[in-house]
Amino acid sequence: MSKSILELLFTACFTSLIVGCSSVDTSARSRPNIIFIMSDDHAVPAVSAYGGFLAEIFKTPNLDRLADEGMRFNNAFCTNSICTPSRASILTGKYSHMNGVYTLEEKISDDQTTFPKLLRQAGYYTGMIGKWHLHTEPKGFDYWKVMVGQGRYHDPIYCEMGKGWSRDPEGGVGTSYSGHVTDINTDFALDFLENRPKNKPFSLLLHYKAPHDEWEYSEKYEDLLADIDVPEPSTLYDDYGTRGYGIKLQTQKIGENHTFYENETGHLSGKARKAAQYQSYIKRYLRCVASIDENIGRVLRYLDDNDLTDNTIVVYTSDQGFYLGEHGMYDKRFMYEESLRIPLLIRYPKAVQSGIVNNDIVTNIDFASTFLDYANVGIPEDIQGESLRDLVEGNTPEDWRQSMYYRYWMHGAHFNIPGHYGIRTKDYKLIYFYSKGLGYSYDEYYPTVHWNYEGNVIRDGEPYWEMYDLKNDPNELNNIYDNPKFLSIRERLISELFELKDYYGDSDEAFPELFKLTRQYSGRN
């Protein structure tokens, strides 16, 4: 590289300081409307525009329309693959350690600056519909109607602005609506669009529950894929070979820990059991995705019918990726590619050429800056993400990031995934499994969780490294960390990892043991 990562990051930071300071442009120039659509746990292969092992048997025509009429990002990633932290990072444009939402339990502070708050201050009419999952009453919106807690697939309960708030489904606050949650979310979104003040630009966050687990699809999709054997991912029967103990001891394994379909598969064992559970799982999952695609079509038709298409930015993404049987798993959390990568489609006819594919590295902390940039709102200095506007308009800056930083904090909680952080470049991935709770391990909720090498799980384990050559090993089957052929690359990646860690302010100084270990394992003293 001609410039060091620190030089590149300093340039980007300095630029943002000049642009920033939260200034607002309220001039009369026409600002775009914004519709930010996000699903929960939507894996990239379940969007047919991306191709992949499901593309021949499962189509998403309305999502594909966004890709055909806009830009498809091939290297979009989340920064913490778990629902609540990811949503907080998207709203604030900051990493978990900067916005205070590390796990599923922390509340986002009302003091946190979010892009909806800034858009509203700048004259946008702002709305939030669907899955919130941030434990505090939504702020920064002219109107919101959100599901209580995680939300139900059928006959969901919603809290509505001005009519009470509760994060507890048993709290007695909210109204139940009859039907399937994906359809109902869209009904409310269309009501918001229809009843908005017509003299203001609008920003709508439409966030679907699907295809989050339990995968309770609408009855109209009962027959979808019913008579088809869905292709299996090539790594469904992965034996975890050279990988560390984390992936070997995790409990999100189809055929072993996947208990949703015991009545259907309990009589089977081994590969036959895994294959049967996979078919049950993937069909339910894809039926939920089909409903999302149908309802996005309803939103796009509304824009068409009301002459709003040309001046509306439509963004589609997911809060994180998801395993669709890859490595024999379901769920997310690990920094492996299927969990890390998110779909990202952006359509804005005024600025984006049709059918463009972007391969730059982008992350979910970039969304806030992007929306503010297009709204002509100054980007605050403490936002860590970068605006995607130049990329969307076909002009990748020379100093655009060449790598991204990831951290998962919930050590030992939910499927026994160890705490870890890492770096992904275009060609390589380096992951440090520090395997310590640091107070973010859910010990108070899961007091019996202990890892050991005789059988199950650990509370705190020995740290270890994994490294992958993504160009030659895209399925991440061969851990090359100890391969002497890659020693120079490994050392460069370790150095870059800690440069990024420092740049984003994730120091671990509050955890002396880990601070010492990270320096030891990085070769720093």
User: Residues for the chain: how many in total?
Assistant: 525
Q: Is pLDDT above 80 for 260?
A: no
Distance of alpha carbon 61 from the chain centroid: 22
Reduced to 3 states (helix: H, G, I; strand: E, B; else coil), residue 381 is coil
Summarize pLDDT for 353-403 with one digit per residue, the tens.
999 999 999 999 999 999 999 999 999 999 999 999 999 999 999 999 999
Summarize pLDDT for 492-509 with one digit per residue, the tens.
999 999 999 999 999 898
Q: Which residues contact 477 (CB under 8 A, 6 or more apart)?
A: 235, 238, 241, 242
Distance, first Cα to last Cα, the chain: 26
- Asked which of 47-51, 257-261, 351-355, 364-368 is least confident by mean pLDDT, the reply is 257-261
Work out the percent of the chain whose per-residue pLDDT is above 70. Answer: 88
Report the C-alpha gap between 475 and 459 in whole angstroms.
28
- For residue 92, name the pLDDT band (cuts at 50, 70, 90): very high
CATH code, residues 32-522: 3.40.720.10
Work out the percent of the chain whose per-residue pLDDT is above 90. Answer: 75
Of 284, 175, 166, nearest in space to 225 by CA: 284
Summarize pLDDT for 150-167 with one digit per residue, the tens.
899 999 999 999 999 987
Q: Is pLDDT above 90 for 275?
A: yes
State the pLDDT at residue 16. 44
pTM of the model: 0.92
Burial class (CB in 10 A: 0-12, 13-18, 19+), 172: exposed
- For residue 440, name the pLDDT band (cuts at 50, 70, 90): confident
- Asked which of 221-225, 434-438, 478-482 is least confident by mean pLDDT, the reply is 434-438
Q: Does 211 sit behind a cis peptide bond, omega within 30 degrees of 0 on the bond before it?
A: yes
Summarize pLDDT for 12-34 with one digit per residue, the tens.
444 444 344 444 444 334 799 99
Average pLDDT, the chain: 89
Q: Is pLDDT above 90 for 224?
A: yes
- For residue 3, name the pLDDT band (cuts at 50, 70, 90): very low
State the pLDDT at residue 521. 63
Distance of alpha carbon 251 from the chain centroid: 21
State the pLDDT at residue 209. 98
Identity (one letter) of the amino acid at 261? Y
Q: Is pLDDT above 90 for 207?
A: yes
- Which two structure tokens, joined as six digits, stand for 199? 């003299």
State the pLDDT at residue 524. 56
